[in-house]
């Protein structure tokens, strides 16, 4: 009898299902590996790399890849997904876990300031991850760029998308980012409808 599906399988089903449901007419090219172990695997994406900040965005595989993390100087892992386990030695990495779901009921904005501060204060490399590196983690990285790099929402979104094309924060998270932009800058660079269009058309 077949064994229990692996975490790789669930990531594949999650990511492929989002693509099919939300963007069936413009699904991105993905690489599928051997059928005995099918999964979508992307490299972690370099978002900011300066003297003071080395920020990466990735999925659960990237966040558990000790060799690559070490080679890139990453010392802090910020996992913003419920039920995603970081299986690395906590004596080697600073690991922060936020049990957040990729649903319309989840208000991630209550953690924007806290997570942005964690990213900003770390002088070594940081990776922010969720299950697939598409929705939750991307939302926090966009929020960070708005708060500490003074990018308005449309610019922060496009900046991250240029470096990780598969990002797709869900509609509720886009609303949270729109509200956060208003809080930070006192005005919005997008209307609500324009903000939601990013969710539908930028994949």
Averages of pLDDT over each 10 residues, the chain, 203 residues? 38 42 40 39 85 90 96 96 92 96 95 97 93 96 97 95 93 95 96 81 52
- pLDDT score, position 74: 96
Domain boundaries, the chain: 43-201
Q: List all residues 6 or more positions away from 90 whose beta carbon is below 8 Å from its beta carbon.
A: none
Measured between alpha carbons, how far is 69 from 125 in angstroms, rounded to an integer?
8
Angle at the Cα of 199 from the Cα atoms of 121 and 119, rounded to 5 degrees: 5
Tens-digit pLDDT profile for residues 90-126: 999 999 999 999 999 999 999 999 999 999 998 789 9
Measured between alpha carbons, how far is 167 from 25 in angstroms, rounded to an integer?
17
Whether 181 contacts 189, CB under 8 Å: yes
Query: How many Å is the maximal CA-CA distance in the chain?
Result: 59
> Is 31 in a helix, a strand, or coil?
coil
Instruction: Characterize 169-199 residue by residue with b for buried, 16 or more Cβ atoms within 10 angstroms of its Cβ, and e for exposed.
Output: bbebbbbbbbebbeebeeebbbeeeebeebb
Fold that domain 43-201 belongs to in CATH:
3.90.190
Give catalytic residue positions.
Answer: 130
pTM of the predicted model over 0.85: no
> Please, is 132 exposed, middle or buried when counting C-beta atoms within 10 Å of its C-beta (0-12, 13-18, 19+)?
buried
């Amino acid at each position: 009898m077949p064994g229990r599906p692996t975490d790789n399988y669930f990531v594949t089903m999650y990511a492929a299902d989002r693509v099919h449901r939300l963007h069936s007419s413009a699904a991105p090219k993905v690489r599928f590996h051997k059928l005995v172990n099918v999964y979508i695997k992307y490299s972690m994406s370099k978002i900011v790399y300066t003297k003071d900040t080395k920020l990466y965005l990735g999925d659960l595989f990237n966040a558990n890849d000790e060799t690559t993390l070490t080679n890139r100087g990453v010392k802090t892992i910020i996992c913003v997904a419920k039920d995603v386990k970081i299986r690395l030695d906590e004596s080697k990495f600073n690991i922060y876990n936020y049990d957040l779901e990729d649903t319309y009921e989840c208000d991630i904005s209550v953690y924007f300031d806290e997570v942005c501060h964690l990213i900003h204060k770390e002088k070594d490399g940081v990776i922010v991850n969720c299950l697939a590196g598409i929705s939750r983690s991307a939302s926090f990285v966009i929020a960070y760029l708005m708060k500490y790099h003074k990018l308005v929402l449309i610019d922060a979104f496009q900046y991250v998308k240029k470096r990780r094309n598969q990002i797709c924060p869900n509609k509720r998270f886009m609303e949270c980012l729109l509200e956060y932009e208003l809080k930070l800058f006192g005005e919005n660079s997008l209307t609500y409808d324009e903000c939601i269009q990013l969710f539908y058309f930028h994949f």
